[in-house]
Structure 1
Amino acid sequence: MPRSIFSVLIALLALLATSCGTDLRDPDQEKKYEGPFRETANVLTLYSDSAKVMVRLQSPMQEDYENGDVVFPDGIDVEFLEEGERVTSTLRANYGKQERNKDLYLVRGNVIVHNLQKQEKLETEELYWNKAKAQIYTDKFVKITTPEEILMGHGLEANQDFSNYRIKKVTGVFSLKE
């Protein structure tokens, strides 16, 4: 009887020894997950200054990443407010990304900026919004429609509410008046 217990113990030890083979891997060599650590649906973010809402950002989906970046894969709608009450301009795009360490937003895909007071509209495919400097800019093709004309060109610098802007290289001006 004691001999059979000894044989069973030897068999178990042999089984354990073979199962602990070269299965150990260096965790630093393993591929790490690079996707979002958090997803939030129906996001509403308010940016204020002196307790007055200055910017209202909405998105159907927000993805937060380990490095602090935030991605809006399903689009982004931004409203710029004056005195925390009245919307002066809007920015809409199919995709958005915020680089947290630079406080810089990149928006892409059917980007439209409306200045509601001046009734002017900017259309482009890619635009940067520097929230800290309250500026928007791009090096891509732009089309600006005003009540009197259509302006086209490459590159643009403007304040974030799109009340003042400068096209870097104008390629066309078309009058809408008869």
Structure 2
Amino acid sequence: MAFSLLIFLLSLCLTSCNQSEVKEPVEYTGPAREVEKMELFYSENDRVKVKMLADKVYEYENGDREFPKGIYLEFYDLTGKLESTLRANEAYYFKKDNQWRGRGKVEVKNVAKNEQLNTEELFWKPAEEKIFTEKFVTIRQEEDVIYGKGLDAKQDMSDYTILQPTGEFAVKE
């Protein structure tokens, strides 16, 4: 009996000495919230300035937001008239910089001038009411199509500069 007790204690000691690995907990970095079919209105002085539609939104702890299924924005003037629209296949809002990035098929339309901008990536700074990109752009006007690389513009496309323009277009005097 003493011999079996000795073997039992020895085996218990050997198994207790065999420590299992302790794994570090993995910190979750995914979204804190998820919203579907979002419709948001941004207004100032009781006037709607921007309307936003998105099928899916992920919001992170740091305030960033991801729009994996795309985004659609409408911009209104002081009288409430639609000035321009912006559509992108996917978007991301960087809270720290108060800046947006649209990717994929990005399209901006100036309703009043009947112009349309197309590019694969576009940034928007709401505080400055400015859009910009370093990517290839196409601007369709009523009579002309302008191509180029890089763009700086007002968010409603009422004034813009193509950094490296190409193509032929008529110059009005």
State if a TM-score over 0.5 links the two structures.
Answer: yes
Query: Which TM-score band applies after superposition, normalised by the shorter structure?
Result: 0.7 to 0.9
CA distance in 2, matches of 1:23, 1:143: 57
Name the amino acid aligned to 2:30: G
TM-score by length of 2: 0.84
The answer to whether 1:49 aligns with 2:13 is no
Q: Report the equivalent of 2:66.
A: 71
Q: Report the equivalent of 2:136.
A: 141
The one of 151, 161, 164 aligned to 2:156: 161
Runs of 4+ in 1 over 6 A off after TM superposition: none
Match of 1:173, SS state, is coil
The answer to whether 1:118 aligns with 2:113 is yes
- Measured after TM superposition, the shift of residue 33 of structure 1 is 2.0
Name the amino acid aligned to 2:104: G
TM-score by length of 1: 0.82
Residue deviations 1:28-86 (CA, integer Å, cap 9, x gap): xxx32222121100111222222211011110000011221100000000000112622
Structure 2, unmatched stretches of 5+, are 1-8
Alignment of 1:73-112 (within 5 A): 73-83=68-78, 85-112=80-107
Name the amino acid aligned to 2:73: V
The one of 35, 47, 52 aligned to 1:40: 35
- Measured after TM superposition, the shift of residue 22 of structure 1 is 3.6
Name the amino acid aligned to 1:80: F
- Measured after TM superposition, the shift of residue 24 of structure 1 is 4.0
The answer to whether 1:150 aligns with 2:145 is yes
Q: Report the equivalent of 2:3.
A: none
Name the amino acid aligned to 1:58: L
Would the alpha carbon gap of residues 92 and 83 (structure 1) be closer, same or farther in structure 2, given more than 3 Å must change? same
Seq. identity, %: 38
The answer to whether 1:171 aligns with 2:130 is no
Name the amino acid aligned to 1:111: V
Structure 1, unmatched stretches of 5+, are 1-10
